[in-house]
Amino acid sequence: MLTADTMAILLAANRVISLRPVDLAIIIIYFISVLGIGFYLKNYATTGEDFFVAGREMTAWVAGLAFISANLGSLELMGWAGNAYQYGILAAHWYWVGAIPAMLFLAIVMMPFYYISKTHSVPGYLELRYGHATSGLSAITFAVMTILMSGVNMFAMAVVLQTILGWNFDLSIWVSSITVGIYVALGGLYSAIFNEVVQFFLIWLGALLIPILGLIETGGWAGMVARIKQNFPGQDFTHLWAPMAHPSQNPMGVQWFAIVFGLGAVVSMGYWTTDFLVVQRVISAKDIRAAKSAPIIGAYFKMAVPFIVILPGLLGLAVLPFHLFPDNVVAAHAAQHLHSYDQVLPLMMARYLGPGLLGLGITALIAGFMSGMAGNVSAFATVWTYDIYRPFMKKNASDKHYVAMGRWCTIIGLIISIATAYIVLHFGSLMNYVQDLFSFFIAPLFGTVLIGMLWKRATKAAGFWGLLAGMGTSIALFALMSNDPRTIGWFCFYPKAQALAQAMWQALWAFIVLVVITVIVTLATQPRPDAELHGLVMGLTDVPSEGNLPVLKRPFFWAVICFIIFLILQWIFR
């Protein structure tokens, strides 16, 4: 996204958007409302169960909306709109192939194990399945990743407030972080979830007018496609699969194999099934049926999100009277006041939204950023308290003590996140930065969890060494390809593969190495007795019945319908 040089240019240039008093009033009311929810829910978060998993009282709809809202952060609202301008509809792969199968897999296959074990986190499940070493490794690396991701959201929000409102970058960082810190520290996951549900509706209300008005201006989908072809002759920005036969045919430099297996089978499965930021919301469900239904509800909404995220980027290709450029080009031509890819969404807001509506749109952006920050911070507080502090530092403290620790580490996590927001200044692209983090930590974690759930023979030692080998492989490949571009062709099978394509291949290679090491170490070590694995491994677990329900009320039925719609979308936009 935006580098330090680019931000300095944006400060010197005219702001993308000018807000009226009514717009500012809407933004101020939003901040006050968020804080009010936090203070109100403080009395409902008195125990560890309340603070860390919202008392496990959430309905399927509340958990499902929070599940998807926690993911609607800066990457979705700014990053993927910019990537849609850069790569076209290929960016929608991260919403469809890169989300829907994984969300349905979480609901039908993995959620029963999380819910039955009554774990507070994914590392908590690994503690039960593999023991201290594997749980500790996953908890530490996850804590690091969530703090880095929170810094990403802070950075992106600060850039938006700076670009749109003209605020100082430092002021923007502190205003957003203090607001999130207060309401999460007060109400814990209760507060985070209820704010995420509110933010979900704000995001849709604020962003929905852009694609509607844009399609009216261009004459519908066909008119938009015609304008894009006229503005960018010879480039295919509007087909999902046609340009994937060979990496040279698309701007990302990626082939279908990497999309299906690297993104769909590894990265997305890892994120949606083992990233505790989103899984934590589903664990808060009130019963097994609600826990299985929540990701399915989220999947339906996830399929529609490209309408408010990807479509604005495509419309930018069709209607903007000037071209957008990468950050390094913008920085190199400061005097020309060029705009970067990641400014496409604010530019489209300025084009279509008038007073009042513009304030609602900016509030939607802010809501998305704060949702991402709050999700990461609440997940960090839970993992730190239950998976690092309690097992390794203070085992037998009172529940009240752990709640206090959760509140304190929420604040500490935010302070560290602020530092990481400044570290992000040194990265040329936030999207590449985040996808690399996923390939380092999330893809290997998925492999370890999946093997543990499906293969009772997998041993404690195998879980630890497989996870370590997977993470090491991904980080080593990243370092190798970054320092020696000649190696890109060796591991990505195309020498001009872009960073997003490289991250997919890093994850896929890491997953393969993890599986191989896990199998080898398992065969060389003694398995645990079956009696110790009840409730943790498929075949040794009795999944509670959902009751004698009609077909229309069964989660599996709606998962099948969702998957059919997903396949239809792939065909329509092929």
Residue 3: the pLDDT is 39
> What SS3 state is found at 235?
coil
Express each pLDDT in 165-181 by its tens digit: 667 777 777 777 777 77
The one-character DSSP state at 322 is: S
Residue pair 296/103 in contact (Cβ under 8 Å)? The answer is yes
Domain assignment of residue 276, yes or no: yes
> What SS3 state is found at 170?
helix
Q: How far is CA 389 from CA 278, 392, 395, 406, in A?
A: 22, 6, 8, 10
Residues in the chain: 574
Domain assignment of residue 571, yes or no: no
In total, how many domains does the chain have?
A: 1
Q: How far is CA 524 from CA 88, 157, 255, 458, 464, in A?
A: 48, 50, 37, 10, 14
Residue 11: the pLDDT is 36
Domain assignment of residue 572, yes or no: no
> What SS3 state is found at 340?
strand
Residue 246: the pLDDT is 87
Domain assignment of residue 569, yes or no: no
Q: What is the CA radius of gyration of the chain?
A: 23
Domain assignment of residue 552, yes or no: no
CATH number, residue 324: 1.20.1730.10
> 285 forms bridges with which residues in the sheet?
58
Domain assignment of residue 556, yes or no: no
> 325 forms bridges with which residues in the sheet?
340
Domain assignment of residue 142, yes or no: yes
551, with CB counted inside 10 A (0-12, 13-18, 19+), is: exposed
Express each pLDDT in 211-238 by its tens digit: 999 999 999 999 999 999 999 988 889 9
| End-to-end CA, the chain | 28
Domain assignment of residue 564, yes or no: no
Closest alpha carbon to 376 in 152, 175, 149: 149
Residue span of the structural domain in which 17 resides: 4-45+59-542
Q: Which residue has the tokens 């003694």?
A: 526
Q: Residue 346 corresponds to which amino acid?
A: P
Residue 551: the pLDDT is 85
Q: How far is CA 80 from the centre of its chain?
A: 11
Residues of the chain with pLDDT under 50: 1-14, 54-55
What DSSP line would sit under 63-131, residue for residue?
HHHHHHHTT-SHIIIIIHHHHHHHHGGGGGGGTTTTTHHHHHHIIIIIHHHHHHTT-SSHHHHHHHHH-
Residue 6: the pLDDT is 38
> 58 forms bridges with which residues in the sheet?
285
Q: Residue 268 corresponds to which amino acid?
A: S
CA pair distance 367, 345, nearest whole angstrom: 15
CA pair distance 329, 500, nearest whole angstrom: 19
